[in-house]
Structure 1
Amino acid sequence: MWKALASNALTFLVVLLFLAGGVVLWGQQSYQNAGPLEAPICVRVESGANMSRMSARLERDGAISSGPLFRIGADYSGKADQLKAGAFLVPEGASMAEIVDILTRGGASTCGTEVVYRIGVTRSRILVRELDPATSRFVETASFNPAEDEAPAPFIAAAEQGDTRHRVALAEGVTSWQVVDSLKSVGILTGEVANLPAEGTLAPDSYEVKQGDSRQSVIDRMVAAQDAILAEAWANRVDGLPLKSPEEALILASIIEKETGVAEERRTVGSVFINRLNRGMRLQTDPTVIYGITKGQGVLGRGLRQSELRRETPWNTYVIDALPPTPIANPGKASIEAALDPASTNYVFFVADGTGGHAFAETLAEHNRNVAKWRQIEAERNNN
Structure 2
Amino acid sequence: MSDNHQNEGVPFGRDGDSAGKGPIIPKSPSEALRPERVPQPPKRSRRARSQLVIFLNFIMTLTVAVCIIAVAGFYYIMSAYQNPGPLANNANFVVRSGAGLAEIATSLERNGVVSDARVFRYVTATYLDEDDTLKAGEYEIKAGASMRDVMDLLKSGKSILYAVSFPEGLTVAQMFKRLADDPVLEGDLPADLPKEGTLRPDTYKFSRGTKRVEIINQMAAAQEQLVEQIWEKRDADLPIKTRDEFITLASIVEKETGKDDERAHVASVFINRLAKGMRLQSDPTIIYGLFGGEGKPADRPIYQSDLQKQTPYNTYVIKGLPPGPVSNPGRAALEAVANPWRTKDLYFVADGSGGHAFAATLDEHNANVQRWRKLEAEQAAARDAAADGKPPAAPPVAD
Q: TM-score, normalised by structure 1?
A: 0.60
Q: Does 1:106 align with 2:156?
A: yes
Partner of 2:387: none
Greater shift after overlay, 216-225 or 349-358? 216-225
Using the alignment, how far apart are the partners of 2:186 and 2:155 within structure 1? 26
1:270 maps to amino acid: A
Partner of 2:313: 315
1:379 maps to amino acid: A
Q: Does 1:277 align with 2:327?
A: no
Using the alignment, how far apart are the partners of 1:287 and 1:239 within structure 2? 27
Structure 2 gap segments, 5+ residues each: 1-89, 95-104, 109-126, 142-148, 383-399
The answer to whether the Cα contact below 8 Å between 2:267 and 2:337 also exists between their aligned partners in 1 is yes
Using the alignment, how far apart are the partners of 2:170 and 2:93 within structure 1? 38
How do 1:28-177 residues align onto structure 2 when only pairs under 5 Å count? 86=139, 106-109=156-159, 163=160, 165-177=161-173
Partner of 1:325: 323
Using the alignment, how far apart are the partners of 1:45 and 1:373 within structure 2? 58
Partner of 2:368: 370
Query: Alignment partner of 2:332: what SS?
Result: helix
Displacement of 1:360 in angstroms is 0.6
Using the alignment, how far apart are the partners of 2:306 and 2:133 within structure 1? 64
The answer to whether the Cα contact below 8 Å between 2:197 and 2:326 also exists between their aligned partners in 1 is yes
Using the alignment, how far apart are the partners of 1:265 and 1:199 within structure 2? 24
Which deviations, in whole Å up to 9, do the C-alpha atoms of 1:156-185 show, x marking residues without a partner? Answer: xxxxxxx3x211111111110111223222
Using the alignment, how far apart are the partners of 1:311 and 1:213 within structure 2? 43
Using the alignment, how far apart are the partners of 1:367 and 1:108 within structure 2? 57
Q: Does 1:262 align with 2:276?
A: no
Partner of 2:197: 200
Partner of 1:249: 246
Displacement of 1:192 in angstroms is 2.6
Displacement of 1:82 in angstroms is 10
How do 1:183-262 residues align onto structure 2 when only pairs under 5 Å count? 183-187=179-183, 188-262=185-259
Using the alignment, how far apart are the partners of 2:133 and 2:213 within structure 1? 33
- Max radius of gyration: which structure? 2
Displacement of 1:300 in angstroms is 3.1
Query: Alignment partner of 1:360: what SS?
Result: strand
1:209 maps to amino acid: F
Partner of 1:356: 354
Using the alignment, how far apart are the partners of 1:306 and 1:248 within structure 2? 28
CA RMSD of aligned residues (A): 3.2
The answer to whether the Cα contact below 8 Å between 1:180 and 1:193 also exists between their aligned partners in 2 is no
Same amino acid, percent of matched pairs: 46
User: Structure 1 379/86 Cα, relative in aligned 2: closer, same or farther at 3 Å?
Assistant: same
Using the alignment, how far apart are the partners of 2:221 and 2:191 within structure 1? 16
Which of 151, 168, 175 is residue 179 of structure 1 equivalent to? 175
Query: Alignment partner of 1:184: what SS?
Result: helix
Displacement of 1:254 in angstroms is 0.4
Query: Alignment partner of 2:156: what SS?
Result: coil
Structure 1 gap segments, 5+ residues each: 1-42, 50-77, 89-98, 110-162
The answer to whether the Cα contact below 8 Å between 1:291 and 1:315 also exists between their aligned partners in 2 is yes
The answer to whether the Cα contact below 8 Å between 1:288 and 1:315 also exists between their aligned partners in 2 is yes
Query: Alignment partner of 2:181: what SS?
Result: coil
Q: TM-score, normalised by structure 2?
A: 0.58
Which deviations, in whole Å up to 9, do the C-alpha atoms of 1:219-248 show, x marking residues without a partner? Answer: 111111100010011100011101110110
The answer to whether the Cα contact below 8 Å between 1:352 and 1:374 also exists between their aligned partners in 2 is yes
Query: Alignment partner of 1:325: what SS?
Result: coil
The answer to whether the Cα contact below 8 Å between 2:289 and 2:314 also exists between their aligned partners in 1 is yes
Q: How many residues align?
A: 255
The answer to whether the Cα contact below 8 Å between 1:194 and 1:216 also exists between their aligned partners in 2 is no
Using the alignment, how far apart are the partners of 1:169 and 1:366 within structure 2? 40
Partner of 1:334: 332
The answer to whether the Cα contact below 8 Å between 1:290 and 1:300 also exists between their aligned partners in 2 is no
Which of 303, 306, 319 is residue 304 of structure 2 equivalent to? 306
Partner of 1:121: none
2:217 maps to amino acid: D
Using the alignment, how far apart are the partners of 2:199 and 2:321 within structure 1? 20
Using the alignment, how far apart are the partners of 1:331 and 1:180 within structure 2? 16
- Judging by fraction of residues, say which structure has more strand: 1
Query: Alignment partner of 2:204: what SS?
Result: strand
Displacement of 1:44 in angstroms is 8.1
Partner of 1:69: none
The answer to whether the Cα contact below 8 Å between 1:255 and 1:327 also exists between their aligned partners in 2 is yes
User: Structure 1 266/108 Cα, relative in aligned 2: closer, same or farther at 3 Å?
Assistant: farther
